[in-house]
Amino acid sequence: MRGELKEPMGPIFTDAERLLAAAGDGPLVAVGDVVTYHLERAGVAPDVAVVDGLTEREAVDDDVAAGVARLGESAREVHVENPAATVTREMVEALREAIADPDPTVVVVEGEEDLVTLPAIVAAPLGASVVYGQPSEGMVLADVTADAKERMRDLLSRMDGDADALFEILDAT
């Protein structure tokens, strides 16, 4: 499934302002420290930011860490464990609750947030936007549509683990 996961789930942007102009009117979910930093620098606090202090498995630089920290000053902060190449129950529950919360939330992951985009698209309401980083290319804007939700459900159902339990948590919104 690595090949399927490497394909961008939407257009790639290198400019946060252009990305924001193309985003829908619904909630904005940012997955990744660098994406969150660029949105924060463009003057927009995502409704949900999922960060792990890493970019391409290396610690983020001080500017990115400071930008994420600024966002955290005005948002609720939740800490979860989520190992690499995994989507834990704790992660999905925190994601679902953060999306449902009308106030901004930063989900700080101990481990990695590398697969969180998939359940984020499933959990977010139609019309929302999920933004994540495409290594060495830019930021991907994934519009949350019925088709996108179905594609993410298909990918998640083919992964190892208990897909039924995952969907039960995600559908509890």
Query: Is 108 labelled a binding residue?
Result: no
Alpha-carbon distances, residue 119 vs 18, 76, 101 (angstroms): 25, 20, 16
Residue 33 is assigned to a ligand binding site: yes
DSSP-assigned letter for residue 76:
E
Do 24 and 128 form a contact (C-beta atoms < 8 A)? yes
| Residue 53 dihedral angles phi and psi, to the nearest 5° | 80, 10
Q: How far apart are CA 10 and CA 19, in angstroms?
A: 11
Q: Does the annotation place 52 within a ligand binding site? A: yes
Measured between alpha carbons, how far is 14 from 73 in angstroms, rounded to an integer?
A: 26
Binding-site members for GTP are 33-35, 52, 113
Binding-site residue numbers are 33-35, 52, 113
